[in-house]
Structure 1
Amino acid sequence: MKTHTIMVNPRFCETDALGHLSNISYFIYLEEARTRLFDEMSHGGRTDEWHFILASTKCDFIRQAFFGRRLRVETNVSRIGNKSFQCIHRIMEEETGRLIAIGEAAVVHFNFQTQTSEPLPDDLQTMLAEYLAPSVGETISPLSCKKRSKKGSGISSACTADFSFSTFPRFFGPNHRRQHTL
């Protein structure tokens, strides 16, 4: 299995008021990783025969990342379907190897003239298979969600996430656990 890797140097402008990288920056890094993967698969050639649209994307934020700390983004393919494939990304701090975020993207082969999805070409399926991760199911999700009902308002999800806010101890303290309701 091949793993596609890029390095990212976070810019100061990609941080937010709390001093860590803004959530939108992660999606930019994931897009850059996918684009470079597609470039690598085409061996510098033309990709105009491969028409992709992004059907969905998500990112689970596990730890904070900061300006001045170089990141490594690893990309694999977690699923190859008839008309689409799924990428999985891991963002890690280069120096420590600590996992910062896990991203996913569903990519569809799309005909822009007919406005319909089309089967993945055989050569593309072969190239994607080189990046196929053998056991993506072992990826740890940072969120654990449980359904609970709110009185008089139906069902909602209560999710908890572990965040390491050791750089902001006066606000949160180390290993503070925050409760989020979706």
Structure 2
Amino acid sequence: MHEIEITGRFSETDALGHINNTSYFVYLEEARIKFFQFLGFNMKAKDWNFILASTTCNFINQGYFNQIFSIKTCVSKIGTKSFQLEHEIVCAQTKQIIASASAIVVYYNYEEQKSEQIPELLKSQLAGHMKSECS
């Protein structure tokens, strides 16, 4: 499991005073990027081989300005050309779950505009973070 922390910013709140639902997708993107960096991937566009195929987020509790969120990321499935990540957003102070999410990421060749098989080295790196749940 990989874990990062993000603090809810005032600009991410809405008229109801809680973190707006769209902000969670930005948090999840940050968690994915940090996960890929942790695996050793270069963040230069010419070297990038991932494309997001699908993402979902289930909102369980409200988050607020200045709250610290711990975002856990793990791998739940590895296919031939894609893999699935699971995320859990938890209040770092209270340990209350705020949201759970998943993302399907495709290994993608941007030059040829098509998906490709996941290289064995990446498969083994992903397998090292395989869990049925992130908690």
The correspondence for 1:61, drawn from 51, 59, 83, is 59
One-letter amino acid of the counterpart of residue 80, structure 2: N
1:36 matched to 2:34: yes
Task: Quickly say closer, same or farther: Cα 1:72–1:96, change in 2 above 3 A.
Answer: same
Kindly provide the CA deviation profile for residues 62-94 of structure 1, in whole angstroms up to 9, marking residues without a partner as x: 000000211100000010000000000000000
1:90 matched to 2:88: yes
RMSD, matched Cα: 1.6
The correspondence for 1:124, drawn from 116, 122, 125, is 122
| Larger relative contact order (CA 8 Å, sep ≥ 6) | 2
Kindly provide the CA deviation profile for residues 95-143 of structure 1, in whole angstroms up to 9, marking residues without a partner as x: 110100001100000111221110001111011111101x34x99xxxx
SS at match of 2:117: coil
**Which has the larger Rg?**
1
Post-superposition offset of 1:50: 4.6
Kindly provide the CA deviation profile for residues 18-49 of structure 1, in whole angstroms up to 9, marking residues without a partner as x: 0000001100000000000000100xx63554
| Structure 1: gaps (5+ residues) | 140-182
Aligned to 1:46: 42
- Counterpart CA distance in 1 for 2:23 and 2:38 is 23
Bigger fraction of residues in helix: 2
- Counterpart CA distance in 2 for 1:72 and 1:114 is 37
Post-superposition offset of 1:8: 0.5
| Structure 2: gaps (5+ residues) | none
What is the percentage of aligned positions where both structures have the same residue?
A: 45
1:7 matched to 2:9: no
TM-score (norm 1): 0.70
The 8 Å contact of residues 50 and 109 in structure 1, kept in 2 or not, is answered as: no
Aligned to 1:114: 112
Kindly provide the CA deviation profile for residues 144-168 of structure 1, in whole angstroms up to 9, marking residues without a partner as x: xxxxxxxxxxxxxxxxxxxxxxxxx
Report runs of 4+ in structure 1 exceeding 6 Å deviation: none
SS at match of 2:89: strand
TM-score (norm 2): 0.93
- Counterpart CA distance in 2 for 1:10 and 1:50 is 28
How many positions carry a matched residue from both structures? 133
One-letter amino acid of the counterpart of residue 109, structure 1: Y
